[in-house]
Amino acid sequence: MVRLTTIGNFLSGIGLTLLAVTIGAKYLLDTLSASPEQLVYPFYIWVIALAMLVVVLIISVINTFTEITGFVHPDDKMMANMLVFIMALATILVFGLLEGTDAVIQGYLFDMGTMIVIAYIFLFVFVFFGSKISEGAESGQMKEMTSRFMLVSLVLGVIMAGVHLLLSIIKDSLSFTWAAGVLMIFAVALIVMIVIFLGRRYEPIGE
């Protein structure tokens, strides 16, 4: 039987391809000076990609938080959710490129993407330091754990604020297209680093 994870990965690939087609169609129609009726075609393609994202998110939630479909290897979950992350961020940013999206909406979309990426920075830090922070929690050493957490939170807050400032400068200095491209590259690099780092770790799996 084909696992639900495989179906989700397949749909993620289709969704990312549709988003690429959306971008290509948009700039092709702009080049050809298409009619207003034709300029909505990229939006229709984007809506299909959005529907794919909704289905993929549902599959991802089922695979990650339940055992309805049986056992799914942790590596498979991680890779599948990496694709979900990339697809979700791309779907948000591509919408800002569509015809009729003004600068205000583009700013909101970029800020939304920035918050998603910053949340992954939080994840990235805790991937490295989570075990050290929580050390002793099982034996009731809550004060020690809280002390470490406060210090790491301070450093993490500075890092996240710096990233937000940098991305805000990029948004204000470049066009939305270029700023969105920089954000996507940064996000993909971040998530790939997480996957590579965790991929080298041994993790005992359930039966």
CA–CA dist 121, 114 (Å, integer): 11
Label residue 121 by pLDDT band (50, 70, 90). Answer: confident
Mean pLDDT value of segment 166-176: 89
Instruction: Please check the confidence at residue 105 and state whether its pLDDT lies above 70.
Output: yes
Structure tokens at 95: 């919408």
Label residue 139 by pLDDT band (50, 70, 90). Answer: low
The pTM of this model reads 0.84
pLDDT value at residue 1: 39
The residue whose two tokens read 């940064």 is 186
Please list, in sequence order, all residues whose beta carbon lies within 8 angstroms of the beta carbon of residue 115, skipping any fewer than 6 positions away. none
pLDDT value at residue 15: 92
Label residue 52 by pLDDT band (50, 70, 90). Answer: very high
Mean pLDDT value of segment 193-206: 66
Label residue 68 by pLDDT band (50, 70, 90). Answer: confident
**% of the chain at pLDDT higher than 90:** 27
CA–CA dist 109, 101 (Å, integer): 10
Mean pLDDT value of segment 128-136: 69
Instruction: Please check the confidence at residue 188 and state whether its pLDDT lies above 60.
Output: yes
Please list, in sequence order, all residues whose beta carbon lies within 8 angstroms of the beta carbon of residue 23, skipping any fewer than 6 positions away. 42, 94, 97
Contact by Cβ (8 Å): 53, 13: no
The residue whose two tokens read 């491209």 is 181
Structure tokens at 61: 């939630």
Most confident of 15-24, 36-45, 58-67, 196-205: 15-24
Label residue 94 by pLDDT band (50, 70, 90). Answer: very high
